[in-house]
Amino acid sequence: MHMEYVSPSLLVVREAAQQLHVTPSRVQNMIADGRLAARKATKEEEALLLRDGRIHGVMTQGILVVQSTDVALLTTRSHKGGRPRKQKP
């Protein structure tokens, strides 16, 4: 099957990081921790991503892509970060 374009619902790590307002390394950590599902792009997808300027090179280990719907789920989850407040006596 010949593809003309990579689905806009597939994001590379850098694009996912921009949507989540975090660094690409943080997205890679989320993938490694299992909080964000990812897969390697096919050779055809890599070529199309290069052609479209969405990536600037291909690493030997491949390019990871994530579904935009999975990224959207992370942005809608409410997470209260930080240390809990001290209880007043």
Q: Round to the nearest angstrom and report the end-to-end CA distance of the chain.
A: 68
How far is Cα of residue 17 from the mean position of the Cα atoms in its chain?
A: 6
- DSSP letter for 13, please: H
Vertex 28, ends 49 and 70: CA angle to 5°? 75
| Rounded alpha-carbon distances, angstroms, from residue 68 to 7, 15, 36, 55, 57 | 10, 9, 11, 17, 21
List pLDDT tens digits, range 9-42: 899 999 999 999 999 999 999 999 999 999 999 9
Q: What is the pTM of this model?
A: 0.78
Domain boundaries, the chain: 10-76
List pLDDT tens digits, range 47-85: 999 999 999 988 888 999 999 999 999 887 656 667 777
